[in-house]
Chains A and B, each alone.
Chain A
Amino acid sequence: GESVGLHLPTLSVQEGDNSIINCAYSNSASDYFIWYKQESGKGPQFIIDIRSNMDKRQGQRVTVLLNKTVKHLSLQIAATQPGDSAVYFCAEKRSSGYSTLTFGKGTMLLVSP
Chain B
Amino acid sequence: NAGVTQTPKFRVLKTGQSMTLLCAQDMNHEYMYWYRQDPGMGLRLIHYSVGEGTTAKGEVPDGYNVSRLKKQNFLLGLESAAPSQTSVYFCASTDVRGGGTGELFFGEGSRLTVL
Instruction: Check A98–B50 contact: CB distance below 8 A.
Output: yes
Instruction: Check B40–A6 contact: CB distance below 8 A.
Output: yes
Instruction: Check B48–A89 contact: CB distance below 8 A.
Output: no
Q: Mark A85-108, 1 if CB is under 8 A from B, else 0.
A: 000010101000111111111100
Q: Which residue of A lies closest to B59 (CB)?
A: A102
With a cutoff of 8 Å between Cβ atoms, the chain A residues found around residue B98 in the complex are 97-99
Q: Mark A15-52, 1 if CB is under 8 A from B, else 0.
A: 00000000000000000101010000111111001000
Q: Which residue of A lies closest to B43 (CB)?
A: A103
With a cutoff of 8 Å between Cβ atoms, the chain B residues found around residue A7 in the complex are 39-40
Stretch among B12-20, B65-73, B76-84, B106-114 lining the A interface: B106-114
Instruction: Check A42–B108 contact: CB distance below 8 A.
Output: yes
Q: What's the least CB distance linking A98 to chain B, in Å? A: 5
For the complex, is B74 an interface residue (Cβ under 8 Å from A)?
no
Instruction: Check A101–B41 contact: CB distance below 8 A.
Output: no
Q: What's the least CB distance linking B50 to chain A, in Å? A: 5
Instruction: Check B108–A34 contact: CB distance below 8 A.
Output: no
Instruction: Check A49–B102 contact: CB distance below 8 A.
Output: yes
Q: What's the least CB distance linking A104 to chain B, in Å? A: 6
Kindly state the interface size class of chain B when it binds its partner.
Answer: 35 or more
With a cutoff of 8 Å between Cβ atoms, the chain B residues found around residue A54 in the complex are none
| Interchain CA distance A22-B74 in the complex, whole Å | 33
Instruction: Check A100–B33 contact: CB distance below 8 A.
Output: yes
With a cutoff of 8 Å between Cβ atoms, the chain A residues found around residue B56 in the complex are 98
Q: What's the least CB distance linking A29 to chain B, in Å? A: 14
Q: Which residue of B lies closest to A6 (CB)?
A: B39
CB within 8 Å for A105 and B102 given contacts A42-B109, A99-B96: no
Instruction: Check B40–A49 contact: CB distance below 8 A.
Output: no
Listed in ascending order, the chain B residues whose CB lies under 8 Å from chain A are 4, 31, 33, 35, 37, 39-45, 48, 50, 56, 58-59, 88, 90, 92, 94, 96-109
Listed in ascending order, the chain A residues whose CB lies under 8 Å from chain B are 2-8, 32, 34, 36, 41-46, 49, 89, 91, 93, 97-106
Task: Name 25 interchain pairs, CB-CB below 8 A, sorted by A.
Answer: A2-B88, A3-B39, A6-B39, A34-B102, A42-B108, A42-B109, A43-B90, A43-B106, A44-B104, A45-B106, A46-B101, A46-B103, A91-B102, A97-B98, A98-B50, A98-B56, A98-B97, A99-B31, A99-B96, A99-B102, A100-B45, A101-B45, A102-B59, A103-B44, A105-B41
